[in-house]
Amino acid sequence: MWPGWVGGCLNAGMSGREVGGAADVCVVGLGPTGRGLAHRAMTAGLTVVAVDPRPERLWAPTYSCWVDELPEWVPEKAIASRIERPAVWTSRELRIDRAYCVLSKRGLFESLPLDDATVVRGRARTVEPHRVELADGTEVRAAVVFDTRGQSSPGTRRSASAHGIFLDEETAAPMVTPGEGLMLDWRPENGAGPEEPPSFLYAVPLGDGTVIFEETSLGLRGGMPQHELRKRTLNRLAAHGIQLRGDEPTEAAHYPLDETPPKAGRGQVVPYGSRGGLMHPITGYCVADSLSQVDKAIDAVQRGEDPIEAVWSREARLVHWMRMRGVYGLGRLTTEQSVAMFEAFFTRPPRQQRALLSAHDDYSALSAALFMTVATTWPFNWRYDLVGWRNRNRWVGWDYGRPGTNDPLPHHEDTPAT
């Protein structure tokens, strides 16, 4: 056993030493995408060193995706809750004939074992193409270094912001029952006026007896503050007769949507996951696509080719570019315009919906989806906002005021593991 090997991990604190020999792959950051990458590299027979300050910790956010986005090697136990026909509320209720799921944090974590990898507990200080140095001076050398350290805070970039409140199923029942879910609820129940930045409700059962109610804003520069999102969530719940105690667990999201894919080229650090441009610019999802692209990157490593080029084909880059146009449009719409736009989008044929929401490189269906969504958004002149001919900076610098004293934000807790 290595000195410092504790519970399957090497503890940093071994200053000046080198671990892993010359590994095939070093993965820096064990969020869901880094862990998926390290696991698949290990399964493919590569020697893997993985680094994270807390490698055994379950991830804090509640992750979801469309069931068909998950690669076939992800087992059923990674899914905590399924919704066969999620609902979207625009001016009316629409049903999506596509199964959606909430991932089980523990189930997914355990589906990505790292038994044959060298897992090092520590924080990377220097990340270079073939060398990683930890804060305590420990060094890892590898033929390929993947950087999966996630994203930095968004500042004024186009962002996803959400405030989620976990309620037990009984309390949630007037709005969401087991097996049902609200993907996007645009009903005018959040208390925001028509001249305020838009947000919608996302509410799904987690499979552990609780339901998350999450008011969400997408595409606003700098995002929307937690106190505003919480106020809006409470308004929606109250509109359905749901009162809270005030001490319910919560989760917060605030991260950038506009990370660009890395430039191709061998011999460089390979950014992957949310750090590597795999964050979907419109939905804010990244986990399922990162898991489903991982084998392309590993195959490229095994063949001595560029993993960035393998993941980022011309078609995939075009898809990302078009989605970026989508998030620019989204971030300047009013609530009314958002409702009209989502109604136009969710009545497109399934392949076009999938091309926007999920497919990594279906550029022809995506261009049709975007064109037709704009072309069928009504009234006609709202299309000028969508394409950016006017109101480009509509919500930039919006003043949300200060948190109200009678509705303090609850102490933020790590969310329960599902």
Ligand X SMILES: Cc1cc2nc3c(=O)[nH]c(=O)nc-3n(C[C@H](O)[C@H](O)[C@H](O)COP(=O)(O)OP(=O)(O)OC[C@H]3O[C@@H](n4cnc5c(N)ncnc54)[C@H](O)[C@@H]3O)c2cc1C
- Footprint of ligand X (CB under 6 A): 28-34, 51-53, 59, 61-65, 123-124, 148-150, 162, 251, 253, 255, 273-275, 284-287
What does 19-80 look like in DSSP terms, one character per residue? Answer: EEEEEEEEEE--SHHHHHHHHHHHHTT--EEEEESSTTPPPSS--EEEGGGS-TTS-GGGEE
Q: Please report how close the Cβ of residue 332 comes to ligand X at its closest, in angstroms.
A: 23
Q: Please report how close the Cβ of residue 286 comes to ligand X at its closest, in angstroms.
A: 3
User: How are beta strands 79-83 and 64-66 bridged, if at all?
Assistant: unpaired
The H or E element spanning position 233 is helix 226-239
Residue with smaller CB distance to ligand X, 138 or 337: 138
Q: Please report how close the Cβ of residue 378 comes to ligand X at its closest, in angstroms.
A: 31
Residue with smaller CB distance to ligand X, 163 or 231: 163
Q: Please report how close the Cβ of residue 340 comes to ligand X at its closest, in angstroms.
A: 25
Residue with smaller CB distance to ligand X, 360 or 383: 360
Residue with smaller CB distance to ligand X, 63 or 363: 63
What are the tokens at 78?
């990674």
Residue with smaller CB distance to ligand X, 30 or 119: 30
Peptide bond into 379 cis (omega under 30): yes
Q: How far apart are CA 70 and CA 80, in angstroms?
A: 14
- Alpha helix segments (H runs only) across 119-192: 169-172
What are the tokens at 18?
């080198």
Q: What single DSSP character describes residue 205?
A: E
Going by C-alpha positions, the residue among 178, 179, 177 that lies closest to residue 240 is 177
3-state SS, residue 99:
coil
Q: Please report how close the Cβ of residue 390 comes to ligand X at its closest, in angstroms.
A: 31
The residue whose Cβ lies closest to ligand X is 31
Q: Please report how close the Cβ of residue 403 comes to ligand X at its closest, in angstroms.
A: 19
Going by C-alpha positions, the residue among 240, 281, 246, 243 that lies closest to residue 260 is 281
Residue with smaller CB distance to ligand X, 46 or 51: 51
